[in-house]
A and B are shown apart, each in its own frame.
Chain A
Amino acid sequence: MNMLTVVTFAPLLGALIILCLPKEKVKAIQTVAFIFAGISMIASLAMLPGFDRGTPDMQFIERYAWIPSFGVQYFMGVDGLSFPLVLLTTFMCVIGLIASLGIENRVKEYFFWFLVLEVGMIGVFCALDLILFYVFWELTLVPMYFLIGVWGGPRKEFAAIKFFLYTLTGSVFMLLAILALYFAGTAPHTFDMLELAKMTGGWSKNFQILVFLGLYFGMAIKIPAFPFHTWLPLAHVEAPTPISVILAAVLLKMGVYGLLRICLSLTPVGFQWFLPALVVIAVINIVYGALCAMAQTDMKKMVAYSSVNHMGYCLLGIAGMTTAGFTGAVFQMLSHGIITGALFLLVGVIYDRAHTRDISAFGGLAVKLPVFAGLMSLTAFASLGLPGLAGFIGEFLCFLGAFQTWKLAAAISVLGIIATAAFFLRMLQKVFLGKLNEKWADLPDMTTRELVSVVPLAILTVLFGVYPKWPLDLMNKTIEHMLGK
């Protein structure tokens, strides 16, 4: 049974079926989307028992010739780094679909693009052939363009094309770097990541640095690492809620994943060379991201900038080049996906009711919307790194890992945590506490659909916070292997 193929391509089948359905049959379209995203999620969960936590090797490998004349293979597999991310993706897509039930305009096209997007995202984490990776990587662009451009906010069209061009610029340089790796390998040339990783010893430092920079450019835009983060606030703010969730929860992870999977393993010398710069970028991401978030009055924009800040923790953890740092980075990816996903959903909840996201427009909402206030507080606390919740584990491990190598950088970055706490607490205070703004006196609390999409995320946040061993066990062996231990 080719499990990874099922996980990756089940949504594609769904998308094709949706394409054949008449556009008036909204219920049928939604059902099909759920069935196939569900198949993908269940199949990925079904892989859990069979996943061997004791080995760093690739598992569930599938390898077929795709374009043998050019050395391209259909080569899929997962290890402790990618498998948690595959689970995150399939899970968040189902959450995103629940949140998408509110979409009323052009439903057929929406779910079609959503499922195509899911294929691309899962594929990126499973592909072990560089061209296959690139194809999946680019496959996310077109659906995202339409999802932002058709169903987004007031400046959606500009946001969509900016996102597309920005990301494409990065990825074409990544493509050139991939081609350079291809020709640098010994004949017969291959795009096989695992084979290429064995050849790195023969490549000169300058070559590795150049290739690394090409790859990094593509990844950095996706992460987004300073100074390539400027597309993110716009895209996040303009995208419809479910798409913001997917963007934050999964798409940003593609960049960090690529950094670990491709840059580190294929250009280790280039990676080492870049580390001092990476630390600086991480610190800027953390501090600058937090300060930008603090300056926002739009809640969604604030959460978007908090993503820049959180991705900075990932980069800091990676730059530490220690087991703790790497573990922290991967864990942070998972926890950020869950927490920020929930935050975007909750911001969407209030926006749907009040049609504004201005922080200062509210006040005293905790009285009227107790459930909403509770969930929002929980996720905000998780996001600012309160111990006992998922965010803390990731951030703590990132700092722990980085502190061993970069003491000053870690020290400065702690300031970022304070700023993060500040803007989240200010938001909670202005929106939920104080005197009730009479304008919102009859806002209804969360509906069942909204609860169904947010509560699982909240539960996971608590679960991962108090019992992080389970996800950590999944990734430990692989991370030790990546660091050559």
Chain B
Amino acid sequence: MNNLRLLLPEAILATLGLVVLLADLFVPVKKARVLYHLAWLSAAGVLLWTALTLGDPSAHGVGSLWSVDPFSQFFKVTTLLTCVLCLLLGLDYKELPEKHAGTFSALMLFSTAGLMYLVSSTNLLMIFVALEVVSISSFILTGFERQNHKSNEGAMKYFLFGAFSSAILVFGISLYYGAAGTVQLAAASAAPGPMLILALVLILLGFAFKASIAPMHFWVPDAYEGAPTPVTTFLSVAPKLATFAALARVFGSIFPLEAYDLTLLFSIMAALTMTIGNFTAMFQTDAKRLLAYSSVAQAGYLLIGLAAGSPLGREGVMLYSFVYVAMNVGAFAVIQAVGSAKGSYDLSAFDGLSKHRLGLALSLMFCLLSLAGIPPLAGFMGKLIIFSSAVQAGHWWLAIVGVVNSVVSVYYYFAIAHRMFFREPADEKAIPVGAYVCGGVALAVVGVLLFGLYPEPLLAGVRASTKILP
């Protein structure tokens, strides 16, 4: 075990998760909220630590099954950031039973720790174990509202589909072992043959499940709709982005795409994911389902950057990932506030929101505009870099599919904006907004505006962290 110290942040986070779980035994139910605070503070502490050592060479290195490099550090930051924000959202989410606060927040921390392992893994078995840690905690989190049928249904579908795709992934890994004689990524020197190609495709499909890439996206709408909103937020951001990091590591740096000519496969999956996501989202009437399909489409945009296979493409993926945290968490936070107050996530709950809560309506609109890639918001800058990587690599058709999809997405994002600003409110019910949701939304909107108007620091930071150690 070389360089075990490199994984100290993850280990500490996992330990803190255990501490939260233990503390659950001793904290009275009435004061259970303190566990949330404990959890988010732990995550925030590790976040601070990781962020501060982002560019520190002494924190980087190669271990036996892992390597910690600027690239993985960057994705650890996005994961931890999402975790902190989602735990804050959880504080204002009333549907979660107080007595399970410890379990809930501990599971969030475990899931996050799993994702942190995932982005550093250089060994397929370690990747599998990390993915399972994430998946199992996510299954439980999705079904956390035990009295809610939708929550149970979502968790069940998620679990069945997850088990199926884990099997595919393991099968791929075993084929890979057969072809290459090792599960270590860097040692891959096997000649490309049918077996290796099949192995790679199966591994890719296993990843596609986690990142909600078509054709493995079928669990997404049900799981997202059923899961408690903070969990939906988490699922739609953190595992997706971390899986993209793992994808970039496995297929981008270790096997160059062109060596096995998976570029076309990546491009087709990207086009399919965007198109399916966007065209299905158009017909949704539930805000969470709509955003679920939108997050499928977003995965498609990210995949364009990987399909380009260039340094610019990787920068695009990283930049977009970071921005995606802000815009998606922001959008879900507003949806949570409205949905909780109205008791329904139907789109009609948003009718006339601007009359009662102009700030909330504007925040959601900014996030949606950013998701649609309208300048001068941050999402535009991310898409700009991603599309330019496709143009640079000569994938013209992919870039065209991408921009046309962006136009399609405006249609359904604006269906929400339309309801918020053009319709009259159905009732005079007040929409209370908790302090933590408010803070989360404010942070997200500031991020969306700031990185849209002045993306230079972020872009420079991304450019400095593209390095992947083998």
Contacts and interface: CB of A to CB of B under 8 A. Distances in A.
Contacts of B354: 109
A146 B455 contact: no
Given A168-B407, A169-B407, A179-B388, A149 B374 contact: no
B414 to A, nearest CB: 6
Interface string A177-188: 001101100000
Q: Quick one: which of B369, B407, B411, B455 has the most chain A CB within 10 A?
A: B407
A69 B459 contact: yes
B404 A180 contact: no
A149 B415 CA distance: 12
Given A169-B407, A180-B391, A145 B414 contact: yes
A161 B418 contact: yes
A139 B374 CA distance: 8
Contacts of B374: 138, 141-142
B375 A66 contact: no
Q: Quick one: which of B375, B422, B459 has the most chain A CB within 10 A?
A: B375
A409 interface: no
Nearest to A135: B375
Interface string A119-145: 000000000000100110011011001
A182 B384 contact: no
Contact of A172 (B403, B418, B456): B403
Interface in B416-448: 418, 421-422
Given A67-B456, A179-B391, A164 B414 contact: yes
A273 interface: no
A179 B387 contact: yes
B410 interface: yes
A382 to B, nearest CB: 37
Interface in A60-102: 65-70
Contact of B411 (A149, A165, A172, A182): A165
B375 A139 contact: yes
A157 B375 contact: no
A175 B403 contact: yes
Contacts of B460: 69
A183 B454 CA distance: 22
A183 B391 contact: yes
B410 A142 contact: no
B45 interface: no
A203 B407 CA distance: 30
A273 to B, nearest CB: 20
B376 interface: yes
Nearest to A149: B422
Nearest to B400: A176
Nearest to A173: B403
Contacts of B387: 175-176, 179
Q: How large is the interface on B (under 10, 10 to 19, 20 to 34, 35 or more residues)?
A: 20 to 34
Interface in B372-397: 374-376, 380-381, 384-385, 387-388, 391-392, 396
B80 to A, nearest CB: 25
A180 B375 CA distance: 19
B224 to A, nearest CB: 26
Interface in B357-380: 369, 374-376, 380
A201 to B, nearest CB: 22
Given A172-B403, A183-B392, A149 B421 contact: yes
A195 B206 CA distance: 47
Contacts of A134: 375
Given A165-B411, A179-B391, A69 B463 contact: yes
A145 B365 CA distance: 13
A48 to B, nearest CB: 30
Contacts of B42: none
A134 B391 CA distance: 17
A305 to B, nearest CB: 26
A145 B369 CA distance: 12
Q: Quick one: which of B376, B391, B418 has the most chain A CB within 10 A?
A: B391
Q: Quick one: which of A67, A109, A161 has the most chain B CB within 10 A?
A: A67
B375 A149 contact: no
Contacts of B421: 146, 149-150
B391 A172 contact: no
Nearest to B408: A165
A157 B422 contact: yes
Given A141-B374, A142-B369, A182 B403 contact: no
A191 to B, nearest CB: 11
A148 to B, nearest CB: 11
Contact of A183 (B380, B385, B388, B406): B388
A172 B402 CA distance: 10
Contacts of B384: 70, 131, 175, 179
B399 interface: yes
Contacts of B399: 176, 179
Contacts of A175: 384, 387, 403
Contact of B375 (A70, A138, A146, A182): A138
B376 A70 contact: no
Nearest to A23: B358
A134 B410 CA distance: 17
17 contacts: A67-B459, A68-B456, A109-B354, A135-B375, A138-B374, A139-B375, A141-B374, A149-B418, A149-B421, A150-B422, A161-B411, A169-B404, A169-B407, A175-B403, A180-B391, A182-B388, A183-B388
Interface of A: 65-70, 109, 131, 134-135, 138-139, 141-142, 145-146, 149-150, 157, 161, 164-165, 168-169, 172-173, 175-176, 179-180, 182-183
Given A70-B459, A135-B376, A165-B411, 11 more contacts: A67-B381, A67-B455, A109-B354, A138-B374, A149-B418, A149-B422, A165-B407, A172-B406, A173-B403, A179-B387, A180-B391
**Leading 6 A-B pairs by shortest Cβ distance:** A172-B403, A135-B375, A179-B391, A69-B459, A179-B388, A138-B375
